[in-house]
């Protein structure tokens, strides 16, 4: 099992969740995160003044998938989240040791 963590534009959450649902991943987590990538935030001009915005608000989607589903999950997220502009986001992949469905006590891949 792998955890796929996608940091994406908040406006793309609906499209990404729909794409994951179509792939058969109804279970996921969505949180709001603040951070920055290579551009280290943003400079905004308001009435002639320059303001530095250090942290950008992004959405973080976490989905645990079977190893065989990693590549198609990444493709689906990218396809739904891309605009081609800086700040589209990033995807990180982590190993997952175990999973438990609390209601039934099922463990491992069947619990995902």
Using CB under 6 A as the criterion, which residues of the chain lie in contact with ligand ATP when the complex forms?
A: 7, 33, 35-39, 56, 58, 86-90
Q: Which helix (H) or strand (E) holds 71?
A: helix 70-81
Among residues 50, 51, 84, 86, which is the contact residue for Mg ion, using CB under 5 A? 86
Q: Which of 35, 28, 27 is nearest to 7 (CA)?
A: 35
Q: Which of Mg ion, ligand ATP, none does 110 bind, CB closer than 5 to 8 A by kind?
A: none
Helix 13-22 vs helix 70-81: crossing angle, to nearest 10 = 150
CB of 60 to ligand ATP, least distance (A): 8
What is the size of the binding site for Mg ion (CB under 5 A)? Answer: 5
């Amino acid at each position: 099992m792998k955890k796929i963590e996608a940091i994406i534009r908040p406006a793309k959450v609906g499209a990404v969740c729909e794409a994951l649902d179509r792939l058969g991943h109804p279970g996921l987590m969505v949180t709001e995160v603040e951070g920055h990538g290579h551009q280290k935030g943003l400079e905004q001009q308001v009435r002639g003044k320059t303001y530095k915005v250090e942290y950008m608000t992004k959405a973080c989607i976490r989905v645990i998938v079977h190893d065989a589903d990693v590549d198609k999950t990444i493709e689906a997220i990218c396809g739904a989240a891309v605009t081609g502009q800086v700040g589209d986001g990033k995807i990180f992949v982590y190993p997952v040791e175990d999973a438990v469905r609390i209601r039934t006590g099922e463990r491992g891949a069947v619990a995902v």
